[in-house]
Structure 1
Amino acid sequence: MSRAAVSWIPSIKKRTVILSFLAVGWTIIALIASTAYDMVSYENVKYLLWIIPLMLPILIFLFSN
C-alpha cells in the first residue's frame, strides 16, 4: 500500500523535525522559568506561550510527510 504524500509541502528530514521539537520544548521551558523568576512578565511572553503549542501540530504533519 502506498503512502499518500502532499505534493505542495517539501520533504523535510526527520532529524530537522526532531530538532525543531526539542527547540520548541526548551523554548517553552525557558519562557516558563523566566516568567516564574520574574525576569519577564507574562504580558511580554503570552503570545509566544500560546503560539508555540499551536505550532506542534504543524511539526507533526511535517514529520509524517
Structure 2
Amino acid sequence: MPRPTLSTALVVAGEFDTMTAAPGTETVTALALALCAEVPLALVCARLAVQLAVQGVGRGRP
C-alpha cells in the first residue's frame, strides 16, 4: 500500500476504533492504541511520502 494511503488508513482506523468502542475500558484502550501506535505510524508514513515526493523518487517508473 502506498505511504499516503497507508497514512490515511491508519488515521481513519484509529478514529473508527475510538468512535465505536464501548464506554469504559474499551474506549481507553482504543484511545491509547490510536495515540501510541496508529497516529505516530501515520505521521511517519506521511513524512516519508513527502520526502520521497520532494526528492522525485518513483517518477521514472513505468
Ranked by relative contact order (alpha carbons within 8 Å, sequence separation 6 or more), the top structure is 1
Equivalent-residue separation in structure 2 for 1:20 and 1:34 (angstroms)? 21
Instruction: Please give the residue correspondences for 1:16-35 in structure 2 after superposition, counting only pairs within 5 Å.
Output: 16-35=2-21
Partner of 2:39: 53
Q: TM-score, normalised by structure 2?
A: 0.53
Q: More helix by proportion, 1 or 2?
A: 2
Q: SS of the counterpart of 2:19?
A: helix
Matched residues, number: 49
After TM superposition, which residue ranges in structure 1, 4 or more long, deviate above 3 angstroms?
none
Specify the alignment match of 1:41 in structure 2.
26
Structure 2 residue runs of 5 or longer lacking an equivalent are 53-62
**TM-score, structure 1 length as denominator?**
0.52
CA RMSD between the two structures: 2.4
Between the aligned residues of both structures, percent identity stands at 6
